[in-house]
Structure 1
């Protein structure tokens, strides 16, 4: 025993050394750790987690390593352990969850147990650790409930769901222990939120009937004894099930709505505020799930209940939980009622603006102050560099963020119906571009801008321009100063949408100058960050974990690059070739993106930017051809499908918009495009979008530059490649060209004695069925006319329709009815 204790102590020292800032010490510790046998490793790690006297960081390291061991080496280690040892692991983990006092360690142990649970469910859904379910449902430790949803939902085999759901429902019916009932209901919420609709539907009937029985019983209990804990959870469970089941919840609507309305009507006492808030949420989620038609008979009564609560809003205390539930419920009602919701805006907007205008407490802190305040104390931090951070007190921030998102929702749903409020909302939102309001608020502020412009359109161009000028300065400043990359990408995306909405002339010289400097800075930073990451890969402490965080940084950087591309796209599409002199300050940086040595994402987005130059600035774009034409043609056969797609799209726009000067390149591109299309795996999931862009590009060359290609030779092949099912935008181009060919009675397309018509019907039917042809597209009317002309000849009609399956026949019928 003494020897074991000594070994364990040495193991603790080893765990400490694994966290050492000294590279040599850490490297040596890693090498020693790798030599310990699997079974011993598991024993030592378990002991470290369970040892009350061990330092917290040692326990934490032990938990991280054990989870890693079970996720990466389960098959090599676990089956080789003795049965006794396997039982010890299971027992020790469950005991640790119950007895561990540190929430941080307990969460980490929950993660280990989740990992083990997943590994111990076989493909048939048999759970080789039944005790874990019993433990979860018997436990009244709510910390582990979120884990249940995560561990037992989408990753588990279907058969296992049956066991989980029946176990949860059984536990919820345990009237003798309300705490356990409430936790089982909480677990059910986690489960249904993570469970895809298709997996939930088979259990829906059983689930709903049980929930109804429990709700009725708990409603009685509330009336008789005043207990509400389980009822609160059950109401949220019902909301969660409806939210996932959507229209499949319609048959159960009448089962729940009367009781839910009863709770809102009568649950007016102060201690029932949370229950009432959750019930309001539940009613609005059910309404959204079942749709307007089913919900309408109750909509008016529900609106009156909400209005009554809203009228009493001024009497609600600031911390009343009903406030945030009300704000979200109004927005859902707006989605359900659409334009009919406009009449309620005067009542809704006052409290909403009041909540959205909350000014949070803020502080500028240096790194030393930061050490005394943690995010758990209710602060959110933004790192400003130079040893400084900006702190925002999160109390009230959640409600503020929700309120701002609801304003976005009203603008989106009501459009011109929201025009009365656009000015005050714009002023409010423009203020929130600053750091002192939390990231969710800044995202909502950015998202609202293009939507508010659409609302304001109804008041004419002068009003719209005034509003835009107010927004434009705010957005450009925000792009230049926003430190959070997630928020920055939203701001850039919204700015691009605004420019597309406002069009030519919306930016003045100062705007262009400021924007040019910012975009140049973003691109230079992109290259600098990539170099820094390469340097970090050469460091001696580089390992898998470092690589993981470098990959995350890389994804963030590329996402910002996509937004730079969005902004340039909107500028080119609005200003055309007039903007080229301004663009030249960025030209060399974009050329750098498409160098063959750059990562594929750089080359993809660099080519997309040149695609826009060709599409929107032709034929003036040809003066930059020396920079991008060769790389674009070479990229047609690139190993990355994303790069191939961007290059193929470029060839298509050269043919369509480029003019005479691009003719030789269109000719040169055709055999390269055909090679990609005819490759054996061209229709594989990862390749199909690139392939469809190639097919569309071949079509555009034949249509707009027929002198560049032997149309008669290529046309039969092109027809055999149709329809395009994935890239809906390119599909429209191919159908437009197909209509041209049919309407001009092209003999190759129609075939001898119209022999190809059944094939054409098949292409049209598949296009409609896959929604590649939509009723609002101009080509849908032209295609419907083709079908009607065939209808006149009974023999030909029968011949064409007989080759179609049921779905395809329905698609043809739909086309005739809608176009």
Structure 2
């Protein structure tokens, strides 16, 4: 025991040294700490946390280190402990929470508990530490407070598995804890945990509790409103209002019956909570009202919509008096956007009032500074500055205040452009002038992402003003977008910018890029593809390295995913260019050709082959018959890929055969004949319809249909048709489903004897196919194909006997689906 105590003493010294301002002492201490075995670390740290006589900093440091240990090295450290040690850690932590008096220390211990509880939920969502939930029923408010913390954390980290496993216990426990009138902070925390729980809770799980949830939330809200009026306490009310919003957001239309219970009180809060200290409450209530409106839909919300708009407008008029850090601003901005979603075109009348403050917020210019490292250390993080090192001596700093609001405001502008389309045209010019320069705004990824997303939407809005106005606007964007594709370092942002650029080309069409654009873009895309191959090689080298282990592999996988994502966007851009420019663009494309051919080599990873084939699919689809001059590069690999091991590669190859049949000229005929048995082999394989294979299989079925329709002399149609019918309907790949149903209609309308069967004996089977397509929503109701299918059904309806025969062979769901089809078309 004496030796252990001496060791513990040494450990306190070590903790002290870890906090030392002296670099050498601290470095030495870090090395010593690293070398302590994991199990001993846990024991020492727990004892240090328990020891209330020890120095505050040392205990805090121990708590931070223990949490870090559990989050980064749980698998190495915890399972190696004996079952007794594991139990003593769990009960020790629960005990410490009950005894701890210091609030920031208690929060740190709650974080440790949440971290441990998180790690003790296994792959299937089973909780190996059920006592954590019993926390909530403990008599001690501090323990319940901590439990709410831990549960809120787990609900977020393990959604939706945690919700599926524990909904019954957690909802009951949190509602009961929320009733704890004696303790405001525990109530507020229970409401906050409930928000975390409902935000990611599948709707179907929440519905059975809705009555009970609503009852509790309503009674708590009424009591807290009284308390606000009598004592001015608002903490719990703020959380309860957000809980209501979260429940409504998840429950959607199921919240309609409770709407009238809440709306009057919520409107009352917005009207009357005008004092400065109630700004946050008012902001959250505005958010709650708009979320409920979105959940219940226009029809129900219309009774209050104009009242709510007036309340918002009133706040808006006082907007110029609001201080810059007023929490209401960001809630207001988001609420306006939701109101726009609810009201649709009717929202346009409010734009003149809304746009001023929104543009003002979106135009916030953050303070920036270039400092040497010494000055930077004097400016602490608490002042809201963030720094990026530029080499040894210099740092670039940016004041982060207002950046979140700026990001939100930019997102709202995008929302208006999307919802109002031509109704937003008055504002497109000023928004474009604001957004385009922000493509170089490296301080905040969300702002960059939002702005790139906005470009195609703003072009859609500007269309109304005619081609000249549209072209001017596009020229303003185009150079900036191409530059950004060439320079953006972050792969997520880069992918988004590339995607938007492709969408812009779709909007603008043929002629939107001039020679300089093509020249610059060609160079950039070539660079991206070369970099793609180089990165793959580097990763292979790292896999041969002696330090290679599972963690290295994991980070290499992440890099690989990012790389592939950028590759998909190269494919997007080429797709838009081919579909806009057709074969005119092929001479430009030839500088990229060797790289794309390299993608589809048999030894390359499957995503390379998938996206390489997709690019050749586009060339066949949009540039035929000229595409055939590249046949020597892609035809063999494409046919060989129909039966590839990877379903993604099979899908790209099968789609290619389909477009070859549909758009490729006569030169492609022998290849359609050759492809048929390969397609059939995929469709008839035993696992063709499993979740991972179904899309590839449906593309094969569609390709067989396209060969029969567009190249009928390449195959024996009469022999293939009965097989093809037996594979229908398609319901996963919606685009291909429309093709197959349209072809089926062609065959029926032309009274094809093979399809209809002798004396129309196949019609019941055809009815079954049509009904199943309707059940799976394979075709959108606005698609013209729906009318053709309904007409087929109506033709049969006129001949009584046949109709009875067809309908009698359908099950109840199928009969209902046929009725639904007739009603909708």
With the length of structure 2 as denominator, give the TM-score of the two structures: 0.90
Is contact 1:291-1:336 (8 Å) kept? yes
- Aligned counterpart, 2:27: none
Q: 1:563 aligns with which of 558, 563, 569?
A: 569
- Aligned counterpart, 2:679: 673
Q: CA RMSD in A?
A: 3.4
Q: State the 1:181 CA deviation.
A: 1.1
Aligned residue for 2:591, secondary structure, equals helix
Alignment CA distance shift 1:327-1:411 (3 Å): same
Is contact 1:604-1:646 (8 Å) kept? yes
1:450 aligns with 2:453: no
Q: 1:792 aligns with which of 798, 811, 821?
A: 798
1:290 aligns with 2:293: no
Is contact 2:344-2:420 (8 Å) kept? yes
Structure 1, 247-256 or 84-93: larger mean CA deviation: 84-93
Q: State the 1:363 CA deviation.
A: 4.0
Structure 1, 579-588 or 102-111: larger mean CA deviation: 102-111
Q: State the 1:469 CA deviation.
A: 1.0
Aligned residue for 1:680, secondary structure, equals coil
- Aligned counterpart, 1:682: 688
- Aligned counterpart, 1:590: 596
Q: 2:116 aligns with which of 109, 113, 116?
A: 113
- Aligned counterpart, 1:512: 518
- Aligned counterpart, 1:22: none
Is contact 2:367-2:398 (8 Å) kept? yes
Matches within 5 A, 1:100-249: 109-115=112-118, 118=121, 127-134=130-137, 138-140=143-145, 146-150=152-156, 154-156=160-162, 158=164, 160-249=166-255
* Paired residue total: 807
Is contact 2:638-2:656 (8 Å) kept? yes
Q: State the 1:100 CA deviation.
A: 9.1
Matches within 5 A, 1:385-534: 391-436=397-442, 438-534=444-540
Alignment partners' CA distance in 2, 1:111 and 1:706: 65
Alignment CA distance shift 1:625-1:258 (3 Å): same
Is contact 2:620-2:663 (8 Å) kept? yes
Matches within 5 A, 1:37-52: 43=43, 46=46
Structure 1, 665-674 or 530-539: larger mean CA deviation: 530-539
Alignment partners' CA distance in 2, 1:221 and 1:101: 28
- Aligned counterpart, 1:313: 319
- Aligned counterpart, 1:745: 751
Output one character per residue of 1:48-102: Cα deviation in whole Å (capped at 9) or x when no partner. 876878799887665444456756898x668944786365455367479986967
Alignment partners' CA distance in 2, 1:230 and 1:656: 64
Q: 1:758 aligns with which of 761, 764, 770?
A: 764
Alignment partners' CA distance in 2, 1:122 and 1:572: 47
Output one character per residue of 1:389-423: Cα deviation in whole Å (capped at 9) or x when no partner. 75432210111111110000000000111111111
Q: State the 1:231 CA deviation.
A: 0.8
Aligned residue for 2:729, secondary structure, equals coil
1:280 aligns with 2:283: no
Alignment CA distance shift 1:10-1:725 (3 Å): farther
Is contact 2:658-2:702 (8 Å) kept? yes
Q: 1:85 aligns with which of 88, 103, 112?
A: 88
Structure 1, 772-781 or 251-260: larger mean CA deviation: 772-781
Q: 1:811 aligns with which of 784, 807, 817?
A: 817
Q: State the 1:488 CA deviation.
A: 1.2
Alignment CA distance shift 1:380-1:291 (3 Å): farther
Q: 2:786 aligns with which of 780, 790, 793?
A: 780
Aligned residue for 1:815, secondary structure, equals helix
Unaligned runs of 5+ in 1: 18-25
Q: 1:608 aligns with which of 603, 607, 614?
A: 614
- Aligned counterpart, 1:21: none
Alignment partners' CA distance in 1, 2:732 and 2:211: 35
- Aligned counterpart, 1:651: 657
Output one character per residue of 1:274-302: Cα deviation in whole Å (capped at 9) or x when no partner. 11111110000000000000000100110
Alignment partners' CA distance in 1, 2:371 and 2:644: 49
Aligned residue for 2:161, secondary structure, equals coil
Unaligned runs of 5+ in 2: 19-29
Alignment partners' CA distance in 1, 2:557 and 2:165: 36
Aligned residue for 2:181, secondary structure, equals coil
Structure 1, 808-817 or 222-231: larger mean CA deviation: 808-817
Alignment partners' CA distance in 2, 1:631 and 1:514: 30
1:625 aligns with 2:631: yes
Is contact 1:71-1:115 (8 Å) kept? no
Is contact 2:93-2:109 (8 Å) kept? no
Is contact 1:339-1:417 (8 Å) kept? yes
Q: State the 1:713 CA deviation.
A: 1.6
Q: State the 1:628 CA deviation.
A: 1.2
Aligned residue for 2:687, secondary structure, equals coil
- Aligned counterpart, 1:697: 703
Q: State the 1:266 CA deviation.
A: 1.0
Output one character per residue of 1:100-137: Cα deviation in whole Å (capped at 9) or x when no partner. 96799657624433225535998699934444434687
Alignment CA distance shift 1:28-1:530 (3 Å): farther
Alignment partners' CA distance in 1, 2:391 and 2:725: 58
Q: State the 1:730 CA deviation.
A: 0.6
Alignment partners' CA distance in 2, 1:802 and 1:373: 80
Alignment CA distance shift 1:398-1:68 (3 Å): closer
Is contact 2:114-2:150 (8 Å) kept? no
Structure 1, 531-540 or 743-752: larger mean CA deviation: 531-540
Is contact 1:121-1:156 (8 Å) kept? no
Aligned residue for 1:392, secondary structure, equals strand
Q: State the 1:140 CA deviation.
A: 4.5
Is contact 1:70-1:116 (8 Å) kept? yes
Alignment partners' CA distance in 2, 1:8 and 1:205: 54
Q: State the 1:790 CA deviation.
A: 0.4
Q: State the 1:539 CA deviation.
A: 2.7
Alignment partners' CA distance in 1, 2:369 and 2:230: 50
Is contact 1:117-1:151 (8 Å) kept? no
Is contact 1:362-1:436 (8 Å) kept? no
Alignment CA distance shift 1:153-1:776 (3 Å): closer
Is contact 1:235-1:278 (8 Å) kept? yes
Alignment partners' CA distance in 1, 2:82 and 2:776: 47
Alignment partners' CA distance in 2, 1:549 and 1:373: 34
Alignment CA distance shift 1:779-1:93 (3 Å): farther
Q: 1:267 aligns with which of 273, 291, 301?
A: 273
Is contact 1:50-1:92 (8 Å) kept? no
Is contact 2:600-2:608 (8 Å) kept? yes
Is contact 2:195-2:242 (8 Å) kept? yes
Matches within 5 A, 1:279-358: 279-358=285-364
Alignment partners' CA distance in 2, 1:603 and 1:92: 57
